[in-house]
Structure 1
Amino acid sequence: MCRWIAYSGTPVLLSKVLFEPENNLIDQSLHSRLGVETTNGDGFGVGWYAPDLAAPAVLRDVGPAWNNRNLHDVATHVRSGLFFAHIRATTGTAVQQTNCHPFRKERWLWMHNGVIKEFRRLRRDLALAVDPALYSDIEGSTDSELMFFIALTFGLREDPPDAVARMAGLVEEIGRRHGVQHPLQMTVAVADGERLWVFRYSSEGASRSLYVSAEVDALRALHPDVSFLREISDETRLVVSEPLGDLPGAWREVPESSCGIVRPGQDVLQAFEPR
């Protein structure tokens, strides 16, 4: 499995989130506390949005995140108000750059932690669901990227929660057809440059961990001495596979079978189920 971070809010240097917290993503790549694997060293990726650019930038590599000088250099020089970071532990597909998250299509970024069980058996039937006009853009061999392109086929650009629900429903339908019990396990983040959607779901009702940061104004009241909280807006949010530290009151578990929408104004948390 994998670990990931999605950040939305006041533009900050990527290193503020990726390197500085106590249980930062680099530490998680070596010593994950809540992941299926303690070590996540099968590649990494970051994707970020910058003003006035038509598409997000992506940096991905097959080596482990903990000793990559390019990642450190980029993170200490790039500032963004919406970015993704992902460290990979493969569930069976090749360790190669095109299999590293996040995946990009136009203004969309997508990353995933989890698995489609028995993916080798289900892959052909799932691939047939992808719009032929999109199929040639698939670069890698992961279940995660295929999930992204199925969601694009099902209308991700117009209605992300509905498209992801249809994608999940298709995976479960095809899985049942092949006799696979509990075919889908996922936490997913997807963004369009302005909004961030996150999903936590599994066919067996025992999804991988996912947490969202508490409201910034409440955290400032609890921890007035934390300088980072004074530098960011009230609308800043972090969604993470596991908390970045042990600051009391800082993290709330995302409920099982749910979809969260982080956007300007009121955030939304709603129930999620495949269809």
Structure 2
Amino acid sequence: MCRHVAYVGPEEPLGRLLVEPAHGLYRQSWAPRRQRYGTVNADGFGVGWYAPGDPVPARYRRAGPVWADLSFADLARVVRTRALLAAVRDATLSGADAEAAAAPFAAGTWLFSHNGAVPGWPGSLAPLVSGLPPEQLLSLEARNDSAFVWALVLARLRSGTPDGQALGDTVLEVARAAPASRLNLLLTDGDTVSATAWGDTLWYLARPGGGTVVASEPYDDDPHWQEVPDRTLLTASRTEVLLAPLQEPADALAAAPARGPARAASPKEPST
């Protein structure tokens, strides 16, 4: 199991979003408050962020715990960004992939993370291999369930499927193959965030000063944090958050932003 967070909004130092909050991702690496599976996220970490004028994100990933990396502390203090995706990792199974197994995974303008696990891996997902191009299988960054789920999402994205629908369709496909899977997925292109709540906690915050945070758990005690119901697709911009149930057919997910059953208040409106 892992913890992850994504942000889109006004430019901020990485540390203000990841390190400074009382219960930020940095602290969640050893003391998460709402993690249901596992207790310490010390099997790697990573952050991806977008620099002004460059749509392709940079990444910094390591195989060890975030609290032991002094270089990250310096980087988080001075690097500013308008969007990021970061994660701390608790490996489901041991492996030799080191930092390659640490989220965020990346391709083009996208950053991706998986909070959860696929039981029976790799055999449970073997039937899904035929749906992936051979070159994509051969270029997997790591040999774990998260990297394979990312490959399924990426194949859909590259075929032109909208970000939210690519996540939703992948969750439903994997859940059919491995019904007990926990599939909280997080995806950003630097302008929007898409996420799924499937088996673990997911929260969002529409910040009064502008910007949206989507995270495994709140990084502070701000009363405006909202929990996402299980089996839900979330799509967010800097100013609004839309939710849609994930039990719907795949073609319905594409229309979710236009008719989602719940809409969060924009940063200019009070949340209740």
Q: Is the 8 A contact 1:7 1:238 kept in 2?
A: yes
2:167–2:185: 8 Å Cα contact kept in structure 1? no
- Matched with 1:267 is 241
| Counterpart Cα distance in 1 of 2:110 and 2:233 | 17
Contact 2:6 2:188 in 1 (8 A): no
Is 2:151 the partner of 1:149?
Answer: yes
Q: Which residue of 2 aligns with 1:188?
A: 185
Residues 122 and 145 in structure 2, CA contact (< 8 A), matched pair in contact too? no
Could you tell me which runs of 5 or more consecutive residues in structure 2 were left unpaired when the two chains were aligned. 251-272
For 1:173 and 1:128, the matched residues in 2 are separated by 16
Closer, same or farther in 2 for the Cα pair 1:142/1:49, shift >3 Å? same
Q: In 2, distance between residues paired with 1:174 and 1:145?
A: 16
Residues 32/265 of structure 1: CA separation in 2 closer, same or farther (3 Å cut): closer
TM-score by length of 2: 0.84
Q: CA deviation at 1:38?
A: 1.8
When residues 187 and 43 of structure 1 are mapped into structure 2, their CA distance, relative to the original with a 3 A threshold, is same
Counterpart-to-counterpart distance in 2, 1:265 and 1:46: 23
Equivalences for residues 27-66 of structure 1 within 5 A = 27-35=27-35, 36-66=37-67
Q: CA deviation at 1:164?
A: 2.1
Match of 1:109 among 108, 111, 132: 111
The gaps in structure 1 that reach 5 residues or longer are: 176-181, 202-206, 218-231
Q: Aligned with 2:20: secondary structure?
A: coil
Correspondence list, 1:121-270, <5 A? 121-155=123-157, 157-175=160-178, 182-201=179-198, 207-213=199-205, 215-217=206-208, 232-233=209-210, 236-247=211-222, 249-270=223-244
Distance 1:216 1:64 in 2: 29
TM-score, with structure 1 as normaliser = 0.83
In 2, the alpha carbon distance for the partners of 1:134 and 1:56 equals: 20
Residue 272 to residue 212, structure 1, CA distance change in 2 (3 Å):
same
Alignment correspondent of 2:9:
9
Query: What is the DSSP-based 3-state SS (H/G/I as helix, E as strand, rest coil) of the residue aligned with 1:84?
Result: strand
Identity %: 28
Matched letter for residue 216 of structure 1: R
Instruction: Give the alignment's Cα RMSD to 1 decimal.
Output: 1.8
CA distance in 2, matches of 1:169, 1:19: 34
Residue 89 of structure 1 deviates from its aligned partner by: 0.2
**Contact 2:232/2:245 (CA < 8 Å) preserved in 1?**
yes
Alignment-derived partner of residue 18 in structure 2: 18
Q: How far 1:183 moved relative to its partner?
A: 3.2
* AA matched with 1:253: E
* Distance in 1 (alpha carbons) for counterparts of 2:138 and 2:58: 21
